[in-house]
Each structure stands twice: as structure tokens, then as C-alpha cells.
Structure 1
Amino acid sequence: MAGHGADEHPHGADRLCAAGDRVYSRAVRRGRVPRRDAEPVPCLLELALLHPDPDDMDWLVPTSPQEVMTRLLRGVHDEVNASQRRVGSAVEAFERYAGLGRQLQTSAGTEGTAIRVLDGLARIQAAMDEATQACTTEVLTVQPGGIRREPELSEGLHRALALRGRGVRMRDLYTHVARHGQGLLNYLELMGDAVEARTLDEVIDRLILFDRTVAFIPANTDRTMALELRHPALIAYLVTVFERLWRLAIPLTAPLPDTGIKGISHREQSIAALLAEGHQDAVIAERLGISVRTARAHIARLSETLGAASRTQLGVRIAQAGLDGAPRLPATISLPDQASGRESPTAR
């Protein structure tokens, strides 16, 4: 039966067949369905969307949609994290090999190569201006950090306006914190429908892709050096990373999703997940694009909301509340009632 189902229903839980969707939806509405109703769609059992009712084996009960969503999002989250780690490793390797290459080649001999090191802001700006002039269809960018300062936005404004004038489409990824910057909102209003922006809790380091043929990434921490990449395989890889992040990101015009836990904001949920991973305050602040002071203020509020008297207890409370990012069955947890000091139930 399992092999038959795999042949006729080659899909995952993220894309059910029509028959499977009908049976699963009916099971969710009614609480259970007869086992015979699921025989034509064995995929529902194979994907653990239905499982036997322990009180009556002739019936099947559904896995909750919340748990299914958690499993799907966790898989995508792990996939993106792995991609981010590979990008970081690749950047380090590029810098190392580029440094070795400079020992063997003159600067004139490196022009036109698949990986070119741009040393100094003037050379970086010149190379990006050249790529802007040659661009005809699309620009993809990842902009890490927090609120975008006016000087940062105006630095590349002339290139953005030139691209808009030629009908080039632009897609920009920012951190959620960037939503609070008026400068960014003014920039997007000026650019109109030429630019589409989305945000994430955290993004990879800066990336600019022109026409899926040339990319620019930082080559050192203070961004006074950059790598210009033209190798087709590297470009294809970076485009894949961008598209996966884009799929997870939230449009700038859409509100951030509710955490589902009273008193816990979306940002505090993100901080809780990073705390659960063992990161220090400075690392959390950098990854979310906020100051260390702001990060610590959120951690203090998180401790107060969860009733944690110490950092160790906060870690336990984060896990109990399901804020550590780990997939788990829906359950009821107890959080301290701020007013009375008693435990009060909160659904994850």
C-alpha cells in the first residue's frame, strides 16, 4: 500500500493532491474520518497527516494544521540556515584564494576574471556603476543591519534612479527592523513599483546581483574591500539563496505575524530563538540589526513576561513556551500571571 501511494501521490505535505486535500480537510472539520475514506489517498498516512484513532482503529484522526505548518516551516528554516552557512564558508574561501591569486598575477592580469577583488571604496563604486549601466532587467539585493540611514540610502540613489528609468525591476531584502526607518519608506515611495521590498528576522551579509550575471559581496568586515563575482555557478548559487530567503520573507506592506503568545512580540520571539541557540547579546543584536542596548531591553521584557528570575531559568521558560524554534505538538503551557503571580495557561 505504501509503495502504491508513493507512485500515485508523488508529493509532500506542502502540496497535497486534490483527493488528499478533500479527505484531510474533512477530517479536520469533523475530528476524524473512517479509515475506508483514506484508502484512495494513502499519502495522508505516509505523510503523517492522518493517524489511527487509539480508541477505534477503524477511524483516523488528523494531525493538527498548526503542527503541519510547524514541520514545514522548520524544514525550510533548516534549509535556509544551511544555505547561509555555505555562503559564509564560500566568502571566506573566495577571499583566501583571491589573496593567493594576487601573489601570482598583476592587477592588470586579474581584470575580467570570474572572481575579482575590489580594494577600496572608489574602486567598488566604479565597478558597481559599470554593472548598473550594463543592467537591463533585474537587480536583487540583500541589505543587512537595522534602520537604513539617509546617507546609506542616498549613496546608491543615483544608480537606483538610473535603473528605474530603464525599466529594471528591483527586489530588496531587509531585516524587520528596517521597517521602522522613515528614510527607507521615503525611498520606496520615490521608486514606486520599480522596487519590491520584503523583510526577515535576519538576513545574510550584503549581496547585490545584476541581471543574474554579476554579483558583489563584502570581502572584509568594514566593507572597504569587495568581491566581484561573474562565475556562472557562483551566480546561480547566490540567486538560489536569495530566492529561498525571498520566499520566507514578509512583504514590507504586510504586518508581521502574531506570535500567538500574549505579551510576546515578534522581535522578542526572534530573540528567544537566538537565546535558545546560546548566542550572546552582542551577536543577537548584530543578527537582528538592533543595538545591544535594545536587545538587552527586549531580553529583560522577555524575562518579565515569562517569569524568569535568571538567564538559566529564561532558557527553560523559552523552551516551555515553544519559543526556541523546535517543532513540537500543540499543548498548553503555564506562564506567570503578571498581576497575581499565579500560573496562567497560554496556548502555543
Structure 2
Amino acid sequence: MNSSTHGDAGPDGGVVDAAAVALLVRGIHDGLAETRRRAGAVAEAFERYASLTPGAPRPGQAVRVLDGFEAIDGAIAEASAACVTEMLTVQPDGIRSPSILAHASTRDPALVARGARMRTLYTHVARYGPALGAYLERLGEGAEVRTLDEVIERMMVFDRTVAFLPANPERTSALELRQPALVGHLVTYFECLWNRAVPLSEPVPAATGIAGITHRERVIAALLAEGHQDAVVAQRLGISVRTCRHHIGRLAEALGTSSRAQLGVRIARAGLGGPA
């Protein structure tokens, strides 16, 4: 046979098939090409999300991570100082402490004085905070507050161009968003909640039409029907776990059951499992 066609003698006297060698080389080539492709994709991803690194914002930067209360407060103060039209805020934690409102009072009046409008959403519980009235009085007509049974996580939006959201449950890290589509989505969400909320000048719903069950207990019943534990229900409504359990006790009494296991069944039969 002609060895140039079928192969050459190997070092051990065997025959090396040229076609097999060609396939081996092709496999190595394709593997290297795939490795280069993946490396390029990783590099592109890093370039795309490079703006997620901490530090001063860069022109066109869509998202910035803020680590620590000092960095978060400083970025919010800068956005507030530059705000000229509107500030939208969601505060989910019930009654606002006097110290937090005092800190806000050092920043927010200047914003309102420039003619910017402030709109804030709280849970209904925040109405009973003794410091809220004094804070709003200092802001005057430039600030408007409405309340809901429950609101979304904390959020601040300035001039519909920059938004701040918590980045972890402890709120020691935050995201500064400047991507127009993301900010626009948050504004739309805020407006939906705002249209459902009750102005601070109006009373919150008190009754449900079911004897012995208040509006808040109706809301608690709906959250329990969704399977939430007491601590989660309390957090979402901005109340203490103790207060939440007091309402659950009243709810159980009104529905004629002393068993927590039967409470879910009674809630469903009374039609309290849906939104209040």
C-alpha cells in the first residue's frame, strides 16, 4: 500500500492514520475556538455590568452600589440637593422615629423651598406617630402624604431620573438607579399605589361590613390566607408582632373559633381570603 495515502509508520512501528490526526487537530481547534468565544462572552458581561462597582457615578452609569449608611446618605443628599420638580418616597416601617424625621427635616425643607413637590407613601400605622405632624407642618403645602394597609419596600425617586432601593435586608447597602426604563417602572408602580392610598386628611377604613371585624383585621385575614406567618404579617403592616397577634385573636373570636388550625377555614368561609 501507499503510505502517503493511508498513513505513516509510527515510532513503535505502527501506522498513524492521517485522517485520525486531522480529526484530532480539528477537535483541538474547535475547542480553542469555543474557549475564546466563552472568554469573549465573559469579558462582554463584565464590561456590561462594570457600572455595578462602588464609587462615584460616571456619566451614563445605569446602576451603582452604595455600601454603608454614610455612602447611602451622601448619595441621597446629593440627589435631593439637585431635585427641582418632584421627590417620591415609600416608607414601609410603620411609625417613623423622631430621630429619622429630624434628620429628614435638615434636608427636605430646602427641596420644597425650591418649588419641588414631595409625595410620600406610608402604612396606615404611621398616622399615629407623634413626630410626623410636626415634620409635615415644617414642609408646608409642598408635601403630601397618603397611607395604605401595606406598601412596597423603601424607595426614593428624584425628578424621575434617579431612584434608590435597598440592596439587602439590613439596608446597609443600596442601589442607585439611573436607567430610564427601570426608574420609569418604579414611578409607574408608585403611581398605582398612590391612586389606591388614603390621603392623610381622610380617615382610614374602619369597618368591613362583617360584624366584629375591622378593616385591619380583614387585611390580616387576607395575609394569613396567603400563608404568611405572624412576623411577616406584622412587618408588612408596620405593626409589632404583639399587636398583630392581638388582632388575630380578635379575628378568631369574631369568627367563632379558638383554634388557629380552624382559623384559615373560617377565613375562607367568611370570604376574607381575598384583598381587603
Give TM class, smaller chain. 0.7 to 0.9
Q: Which amino acid aligns with 1:275?
A: L
Q: Which amino acid aligns with 1:296?
A: R
Aligned residues: CA RMSD:
2.1
- From 267, 272, 275, the equivalent of 1:318 is 267
Q: Which amino acid aligns with 2:160?
A: R
CA separation in 1, counterparts of 2:275 and 2:175? 36
Tell me the alpha carbon deviations over residues 197-220 of structure 1, each in whole angstroms, 9 at most, x when there is no partner.
111111111000000000011111
TM-score under structure 1 normalisation?
A: 0.62
- From 211, 218, 240, the equivalent of 1:262 is 211
Q: Which amino acid aligns with 2:241?
A: V
Tell me the alpha carbon deviations over residues 37-83 of structure 1, each in whole angstroms, 9 at most, x when there is no partner.
xxxxxxxxxxxxxxxxxxxxxxxxxxxxxxxxxxxxxxxxxxxxxxx
1:276 equivalent in structure 2: 225
Mapped pair 1:217 → 2:165 = yes
Aligned residue for 1:312, secondary structure, equals helix
Tell me the alpha carbon deviations over residues 224-266 of structure 1, each in whole angstroms, 9 at most, x when there is no partner.
1111100000011000100001111111111112311222111
Mapped pair 1:287 → 2:236 = yes
TM-score under structure 2 normalisation?
A: 0.78
- From 213, 222, 246, the equivalent of 2:194 is 246
CA separation in 2, counterparts of 1:106 and 1:290? 36
Structure 1: gaps spanning 5 or more residues: 1-96, 328-348
Bigger Rg over Cα: 2
1:31 equivalent in structure 2: none
1:89-108 → structure 2 map (5 Å cutoff)? 101=49, 107=54
- Matched residue pairs, number? 229
Change in CA separation of 1:244 and 1:107 when aligned onto 2, cut-off 3 Å? closer
CA separation in 2, counterparts of 1:105 and 1:296? 41
Q: Which amino acid aligns with 2:249?
A: A
Aligned-residue sequence identity (percent) comes to 60
Any runs of at least 4 consecutive aligned residues in structure 1 with deviations exceeding 4 A, and if so which?
Answer: 104-110
CA separation in 2, counterparts of 1:169 and 1:267? 30
Tell me the alpha carbon deviations over residues 128-154 of structure 1, each in whole angstroms, 9 at most, x when there is no partner.
111111110100000001111101111
2:65 equivalent in structure 1: 117
Greater shift in the superposed pair: 257-266 or 190-199: 257-266
Structure 2: gaps spanning 5 or more residues: 1-44
Q: Which amino acid aligns with 2:252?
A: S
Aligned residue for 1:156, secondary structure, equals helix
1:161 equivalent in structure 2: 109
CA separation in 2, counterparts of 1:105 and 1:278? 35
1:311 Cα deviation (Å)? 1.4
Aligned residue for 2:107, secondary structure, equals helix
2:151 equivalent in structure 1: 203
Q: Which amino acid aligns with 1:249?
A: A
CA separation in 1, counterparts of 2:53 and 2:212? 60
1:21 equivalent in structure 2: none
Aligned residue for 1:167, secondary structure, equals coil
1:12-51 → structure 2 map (5 Å cutoff)? none
Comparing both chains, which one has the higher relative contact order based on Cα–Cα distances under 8 Å and sequence gaps of 6 or more?
2
Aligned residue for 1:148, secondary structure, equals coil
CA separation in 1, counterparts of 2:198 and 2:275? 21
CA separation in 2, counterparts of 1:108 and 1:312? 52
Change in CA separation of 1:216 and 1:299 when aligned onto 2, cut-off 3 Å? same
